[in-house]
Structure 1
């Protein structure tokens, strides 16, 4: 890839006149997806923004400012978070997230000691691809329920808001160009929000509740002093901090560990995929320099930071890699600027209330596309690695993973007074790993063996 097409290279500092605009593009690209995860899991959207910003800054430091990646809320953890919330509340979720982050650190040490070849043996495309499909399709019922139901009852008005949102997002993804082509998700949410306001006024059915936004705005305009004004604007997010809001030793149990920790294996596979794409987009080899061990460690540090603040686990974002590919602006300073803006937005009360007021069907409409894209990325992994499903071994492994994961199979293990549940996602990944290890003909599961190929090596 020729450097003459690069607008700003990885370590280039942008001009002040363009820095804010470049960073805003990254902020808008990640915004819709990052707030969707806390929206679905009853976590704080403000904390999610702050933790994604801090996590991204930590990632840039750990990778020595050599990888221009933005980190946001991970979709892979949505189902485990929901299940862990029912067992141990927010505190239990945070302890599980913390342990998942520690898994990243352990994998980083293993990669430092033994290189990367063993990862392909443990996580070949024939296992990782179907598991990623399970993540996307396993969330499909959630998206449909959000899009068309209110308290479990069908609502045509709410469904219309979801369909308008979905349609605009699809059109934007395919047809918008330039700056607007970078933010189709955000445009879809805004359009769905405006449609919900209009349809609520016409039908007298409350699709959107703006009372929180109105109260926050009223507090701002009624301020009688500069101090009151800043108090109305800047509101600290509802952080959930260990030993302050909960005792980790009291909420942790083996069920939460089995719910959260195995998902880290899947997200590591996604992380590796993102690093390969980033390497191809920028024309550099991030797997070798600064090294996969550093990028995985950075991801783990970001997740640990989120866990001690009350935010969802973080992961590198494909949406922002898309921004890099389109704009040719690879500067880590631009990505860092987006992280600072995310932290800033997390402390603005009226922004938090505005996010909280987004109607459920609007987020459901966006989710239909996003969750489908996750599933499709699993298919893409199989295609890119030239996995032959005509080979019975590959067909068996993929089929078993898909049915166990999407079908909702689980194992309930009684341990004394506690029942430990291995959920469908973790179980499907575990069964896939075992099948790959015991069935003959392992070479076919690796495909073209090109998982870590970079532009200069292909």
Structure 2
């Protein structure tokens, strides 16, 4: 990143650059974010609206010091679907509100207790692979979105995927000046044109869309049983949030856990989820795709992310714009995600290098080994409809082992002493 012109978090972006850079961020998160409302059977317009509002709230709460775009959270899918099938969507919204409220309370506890415990429960030998898993476990999702998995692989999907990925890779290596900061946007445009040529884009929804339409706002209903089914997700989203803040901090070369503080970013994340539940949208979370965009482009400005949020809000009210964005096919999203997820994985490995983790020390070797194997093994633990797997399960195992090793060291019971 040292060879790139870095646009730092607080820097203002020239007007002619703001729109393309903002569009780049919005398109990066769009594919994954609108998938969640489709799975819940709701109109994605309300999600586009809340993604924008949630992102602006997050920027405000973190004092503009933590660049992050908030999109739809996948952590809630399994328990929310159970609640929707038994009680209905409004009761799932009540669960979202409850989780967001409890997350806000947790943020206040962290403010009082501090964050030194993170270095104990997630030392670099554990944090590095946990962060890497954020990207690595999503690699199959990128391939699936591109239509590259399964027995019936279409050559058109493969071609569009390769064109999109190829432009993103070569653009990041070869583009200069202004083009060097928008390789993702250029790749999406090239991939979209290729998709049109291969007949993968249907414009009928754009033609039929009303010029102006309000998002479908829905109020929540509360039931203790429904809330208890969804509440354990707070463990998942907290682990995910810490990982995202650490990897973003490494990319922008700042300690976001200390400034603006984990309590602020966690509160912003959960407050957005609570508001989402109150108006009928899905829970939000900081997005790995946008972290990847920052890693590739060197543009960290919160002004750009705020611009993307405003565009998302506008699209939620303008029918043809919302419909047009939804025509971006899976191979284009998959091609971009393929690179972005890999960048997150590399950022996790960077933690190991930057912290000079010594693998001649047995506890470091064991921690990294167990975390990687757990996260990539597809092992799943199910607790009342909440599935612990991948990065989240690996993070929990890492915390348990780290606490165990810390205790053993205190009593001089390890052979590393």
Query: Common fold, TM-score beyond 0.5?
Result: yes
Tell me the equivalent position of 1:343.
313
Tell me the equivalent position of 2:285.
314
Question: Can you give the 5+ residue segments of structure 2 that lack an aligned partner in the other structure?
Answer: 411-417
Q: Is the 8 A contact 2:295 2:343 kept in 1?
A: no
Q: Is the 8 A contact 1:129 1:381 kept in 2?
A: yes
Q: Alignment length, in residue pairs? A: 394
Q: Aligned partners of 2:176 and 2:90: how far apart in 1?
A: 43
- Cα 1:9–1:344, aligned 2, differ >3 Å: closer, same or farther? same
- Cα 1:98–1:398, aligned 2, differ >3 Å: closer, same or farther? farther
Question: Can you give the 5+ residue segments of structure 1 that lack an aligned partner in the other structure?
Answer: 201-206, 217-231, 444-458
Aligned counterparts, 1:87-102, within 5 A: 87-89=82-84, 97-98=96-97, 101-102=100-101
Q: Aligned partners of 1:286 and 1:150: how far apart in 2?
A: 37
Q: Aligned partners of 1:304 and 1:138: how far apart in 2?
A: 27
The worse-fitting range, judged by mean Cα deviation, of 378-387 and 337-346 is: 337-346
Q: Aligned partners of 1:84 and 1:94: how far apart in 2?
A: 12
Q: Aligned partners of 1:398 and 1:410: how far apart in 2?
A: 19
Q: CA deviation at 1:353?
A: 1.0
Tell me the equivalent position of 1:365.
335
- Cα 1:22–1:379, aligned 2, differ >3 Å: closer, same or farther? same
Q: Is the 8 A contact 2:122 2:398 kept in 1?
A: no
How high is the TM-score relative to the length of structure 1? 0.73
Aligned counterparts, 1:230-379, within 5 A: 232-243=210-221, 247=222, 249=224, 251-254=226-229, 256-259=230-233, 261-275=235-249, 277-278=251-252, 280=254, 290-308=260-278, 309-315=280-286, 317-318=290-291, 321=294, 325-326=298-299, 336-379=306-349
Q: Is the 8 A contact 2:7 2:299 kept in 1?
A: no
Q: Is the 8 A contact 1:209 1:359 kept in 2?
A: no
- Cα 1:408–1:70, aligned 2, differ >3 Å: closer, same or farther? closer
Q: Aligned partners of 2:77 and 2:202: how far apart in 1?
A: 24
Q: CA deviation at 1:325?
A: 4.8
Tell me the equivalent position of 2:29.
34
Cα RMSD after superposing both structures = 3.6
Q: Is the 8 A contact 1:127 1:432 kept in 2?
A: yes
Q: Larger radius of gyration, structure 1 or 2?
A: 1
Aligned counterparts, 1:189-200, within 5 A: 189-200=188-199
Q: CA deviation at 1:45?
A: 4.4
- Cα 1:290–1:400, aligned 2, differ >3 Å: closer, same or farther? closer
- Cα 1:103–1:399, aligned 2, differ >3 Å: closer, same or farther? farther
- Cα 1:126–1:68, aligned 2, differ >3 Å: closer, same or farther? closer
Aligned counterparts, 1:164-175, within 5 A: 164-175=163-174
Q: CA deviation at 1:340?
A: 2.7
Question: Which consecutive segments of 4 or more residues in structure 1 shift more than 6 A?
Answer: 5-9
Tell me the equivalent position of 1:163.
162
Secondary structure of 2:198's counterpart equals: helix
Pick from 374, 379, 382: which aligns with 1:404? 374
Q: Is the 8 A contact 1:133 1:377 kept in 2?
A: yes
Secondary structure of 1:51's counterpart equals: helix
Q: Aligned partners of 1:420 and 1:312: how far apart in 2?
A: 15
Q: Aligned partners of 2:395 and 2:149: how far apart in 1?
A: 33
The worse-fitting range, judged by mean Cα deviation, of 136-145 and 256-265 is: 256-265
